[in-house]
Amino acid sequence: MRISFRKTEIGPLTAILGGGLTAALLDITYAFVFFGLRGANPVRILQTIASGVLGKAAYQGGAGAAILGAFLHAGIAVVMAAVYVSASRVLPALNRRPWLWGPLYGIGCYLVMNYVVLLLRFGPRPAPHLEVLAGGVAIHMFGVGLPIALFAARAALSSRLPGSTSTPQPAA
pLDDT in tens, 4-55: 555 578 999 999 999 999 999 999 999 999 999 999 999 999 999 999 999 9
Cα 34 to Cα 164: distance, rounded to the nearest angstrom: 42
**Nearest residue to 100 via CA among 65, 57, 133, 145:** 145
89 contacts 167 by C-beta, under 8 angstroms: no
Helix (H, G, I), strand (E, B) or coil at 65: helix
pLDDT at 56 over 70: yes
Mean pLDDT of 55-64: 96
pLDDT at 95 over 60: yes
Cα 170 to Cα 172: distance, rounded to the nearest angstrom: 6
pTM: 0.86
Q: What pLDDT is attached to residue 162?
A: 54
Residues in the chain: 172
Q: What is the dihedral of CA 138, 33, 74, 104, to 10 degrees?
A: 0
Cα 119 to Cα 78: distance, rounded to the nearest angstrom: 21
Q: What pLDDT is attached to residue 8?
A: 73
Report residue 172's pLDDT band, with 50, 70 and 90 as the boundaries: very low
pLDDT at 171 over 50: no
User: Which residues, 6+ apart, have CB-to-CB distance to 132 below 8 Å?
Assistant: none
Q: What pLDDT is attached to residue 160?
A: 60
**Nearest residue to 19 via CA among 73, 76, 81, 79:** 81
